[in-house]
Structure 1
Amino acid sequence: MSRRHVPAVLALVAGALVAVPAQAAHAATVQVPCSVPDLVKAINTANGTPRADTIRLARGCTYKLRAPDPVNPGNGLPVITSEITIDGRGATIERDGQGGEVPRFRIIYVDKTGVLKLIRTTIRGGYATDCPAFPDAVGASCGGGISNNGKMRITHSKFTGNTSASPVFAQGGGIDSPGSAKSTISDTEVSGNHVVYTGQEPESGAAGGGISNDGPLTITDSKLSGNTATVTPDTRSTAFGAGIISFFGTTIKNTVISGNRAFAEKGTARAAVSNGIPADSGRLTVIGGAVRDNVSDAPGGVAQGGGIANNALMTVKGVKISGNRAVAKDGIARGGGVRVGPSGTLDLKESRITGNTVEAPGGTAQGAGIDNPDGGVLRAERNEILRNTATAENGTAQGGGLYHAAGLPASGTSTLKRNTITDNRAADGGGIFRASGGLTLNGDVVRENRPNNCAPTGTVPGCTG
């Protein structure tokens, strides 16, 4: 695995350009009975034709895969190499792991020349053992349900109970999409998937419990819930993006990202929504929807962002960010709702950051609502930052609404405009705690925070009490 996969740099190189065959004028449609051999035959036949093909599954059938594809044993079904639509009509394709006798494999791989349109289908129980889009990443795993190195359009579908686990590096428990062609996911549920780093080497990671993305992707009207990212304890590794991790330009619209969990004992647990997009690869844009009730937990380590963590370019507009938690017993917990990293620039607009918490018994808790501690750039306008709480029994708790510090070297800014920051709590700086660096208010309302609105006294011009 290239070291650019390691969380220290949060970057991943996208795959080669996709060569998609031109769509023929007449598509073929085949009805597949409730039979795995017939489904395999239909895909192989479709791959052998120059036209676009549609495969219609038996309504309500569960296609149980008990053996991998003999040609490409990392996958359950034949590799998609042409333009194929799979219309599940409510069917399920699953790896039948009953009794532990079935080998591990993902369900679907889309190659560079492939175009997959997946409709009304559940993908369940896949288990990735390799990274076909990154053949040099020996021992890594990518995409438990699907790995897309071509182009995919997923709609009205569900990915559940899929896993990507590796002793080297793992990403994309449900979906991994490194293809360079624009792909879409709409009206789809990605839930209960897992990405796991199982190795003992230090400073590796697990990224994207639900989705890991390395290519242009748009997600709309979907649900990412109950996914997990975990790493081996005491390896200083990083579990990040329990809902989604983005390494390329990504747009998420009107989507609910909830109940996801990153766990890294004596490591780093980072946010349900995370990114590490190189400067020339676009930004992560989140519009509408909600990021709620997610947890980043790092006992004895560092929890960065319960809901959102940005270390590149990100725009968040009109999003409800609520009930998220960053927890680090005897460690450091930062950014219960939102965390801005040292390389991050975040434009946060017209959103509600409410009821988020940072908790660090015996440690340090900072920025329950928003945290910008290491030299990032925050531009926040017309947001409501309400009822967020920083607690650290026998420790330090600062910045219930916002924590800001310049970082090293001394840089980083937080520019606020017409925000409402009320009823937040911390041991100090109930509304805002400014440790250092540039922080400005422009028509913001900061009041009724406990025990004070801004701290230290006099460090935030225009804020009193």
Structure 2
Amino acid sequence: MPTATVAVTVGAVGLVGAAPAAAADRPVVNCEDNPQALQPAIDSAVPGATLLVKGTCIGPFTIDKDLALMGLENAVLDGNHAGSTVTVHPGVRVQLANLTITHGTGTGGGIYNNGGTVRLTGSTVEGNTAGDGGGIYNNVHSTVTLTVSTVRDNTAHSGGGIINFGTVTLTGSLVERNTSTIDGGGIYNNFNSTVTLTGSTVEHNTAARSGGGIFNIFNSTVTLTASTVKHNTADGGVGGGIWNDIKSTVRLSGSTVEHNTAGLDGGGIYNATGTVPLTGSTVRDNRPNNCGGPDPVPGCTG
């Protein structure tokens, strides 16, 4: 599985719909010399600029304009346990590349996207805590795209890794070892929202109640293509790998749900009142069973 140690060419980082920033708009923010340097640099940057980030920058950080942050030499954005590490304002387009985003707290521990468009490339969101959305909180009318990125070792009441009320897309990415004290250890998708995973993995996440890997509810849609949900656990409830309910849909194409565990039912998939079409996909080796719930999953046995 790809990790967040992928190099991204500086010239390739461009804002959605924005012209490439001129060289003068790509200053190096050296947090090795001054750990507090990044927020003033963000505040003074012209909209659409690219900032090259070096060292460990101490936040938290607020972004209220179109901006790209490009990490150099294992750069870190550290929320200092003082709020969401990165907060994105409504209507703002943000690119985060080659960065580790950590030590955030509050709503959306690592990233709180409040109506913006956020792209993460070659980045890691880890070691954050929140009431909801330990790693990422994607609010209504918000979009987050993860490419070759990782969300891991985050904790929340709901949505240990990601909680979504908008649109989230993961490509070649990993959601692992996140913990929810209620539901949705890896991903919690809620209220007319959409999550799309392509070539991605959701693994080793834990929910105290239901939806160890993915929790999908209230007319929401999760689509998995060539992706894997494995080794997730719903300790005290149902849906070790995936929990689906209330007119929601989980579509699997060329994907695998395996080696997940639930305390009560639906070790692989628990389908309460939704739809789970399996197209060229496999649900196997889950405990206590592969599929459970009042609505059968066609093609799922055991």
Q: Which residue of 1 aligns with 2:112?
A: 212
Structure-2 separation of matches of 1:256 and 1:250: 13
CA contact (8 A) 1:336 1:368 kept: yes
Match of 2:85 in 1: 174
- Rate the CA distance shift 1:423–1:60 in 2: closer, same or farther, 3 A: same
Q: Any idea what the Cα deviations from partners look like across 1:23-67, whole Å, max 9, x if unmatched?
A: 99894xxxxxxxxxxxxxxxxxxxxxxxx5x655568413558xx
| Mapped partners of 2:53, 2:160: distance in 1 | 29
Which amino acid is 2:123 matched to? S
Aligned residues: 278
Report if the CA contact (8 A) 1:226-1:259 is conserved: yes
Q: Is the 8 A contact 1:80 1:115 kept in 2?
A: no
Matched, 1:433 2:292: yes
Separation of aligned partners in 2, 1:273 and 1:180: 20
Q: Contact conserved, 2:105 with 2:128, CA < 8 A, in 1?
A: yes
Q: Does 1:257 align with 2:151?
A: yes
Question: Which residue in the other structure is 1:296 paired with?
Answer: 180
Q: Could you say which structure has the larger radius of gyration?
A: 1
Is the Cα–Cα contact under 8 Å of residues 275 and 297 in structure 2 kept in the other structure?
yes
Question: CA 1:153/1:256 → structure 2, altered by over 3 Å: closer, same or farther?
Answer: same
Instruction: Report which structure shows greater RCO (CA 8 Å, sep ≥6).
Output: 2
1:155 aligned to which of 70, 76, 79 = 70
Give TM-score scaled by structure 2 length: 0.83
Structure 2 distance, partners of 1:399, 1:123, is 43
How far, CA to CA, are the matches of 1:378 and 1:249 in structure 2?
19
What is the CA-CA distance between 1:244 and the residue it aligns to?
0.8
In structure 2, the residue matched to 1:244 is 136
CA deviation after TM superposition for structure 1 residue 374, in Å: 2.8
Counterparts of 1:353 and 1:79, CA distance in 2: 37
Q: Residues 194 and 222 of structure 2 are in contact (CA less than 8 Å); yes or no, is this contact kept in structure 1?
A: yes
Q: After superposition, where does 1:54-453 map in structure 2 within 5 Å?
A: 55-56=27-28, 60-63=32-35, 77=40, 80-83=43-46, 114-122=47-55, 124-126=57-59, 144=60, 146-156=61-71, 157-165=75-83, 173-195=84-106, 207-213=107-113, 214-229=115-130, 239-247=131-139, 248-263=142-157, 269-277=158-166, 283-297=167-181, 303-311=182-190, 312-327=193-208, 333-360=209-236, 365-391=237-263, 397-406=264-273, 412-426=274-288, 430-436=289-295, 439-441=297-299, 446=301, 453=302
Give the deviation of 1:179 after TM superposition: 4.6
- Does the 8 Å contact 1:244/1:272 carry over to 2? yes
Segments of structure 1 that go 5 or more residues without pairing to the other structure are 1-20, 28-51, 66-74, 84-113, 127-143, 166-172, 196-206, 230-238, 264-268, 278-282, 298-302, 328-332, 392-396, 407-411, 447-452, 454-465
Q: Which amino acid aligns with 1:320?
A: T
Q: 1:261 to 1:115 in 2, by over 3 A?
A: same
Secondary structure of 1:162's aligned partner:
coil
- Mark the CA change 1:82 to 1:193 in structure 2 (over 3 Å): closer, same or farther: closer
Partners in 2 of 1:78 and 1:187 — Cα distance?
A: 18
TM-score by length of 1: 0.55
8 Å CA contact 2:178, 2:186 repeated in 1: yes
1:216-257 per-residue CA deviation (whole Å, 9 max, x = no partner) reads 12111111111111xxxxxxxxx2211111121221111111
Do the aligned partners of residues 58 and 222 (structure 1) sit closer, same or farther apart at CA in structure 2, a change above 3 Å counting? closer
CA change 1:245–1:57 in 2 (3 A) is: closer
Is the Cα contact below 8 Å between 1:122 and 1:160 reproduced in 2?
Answer: no
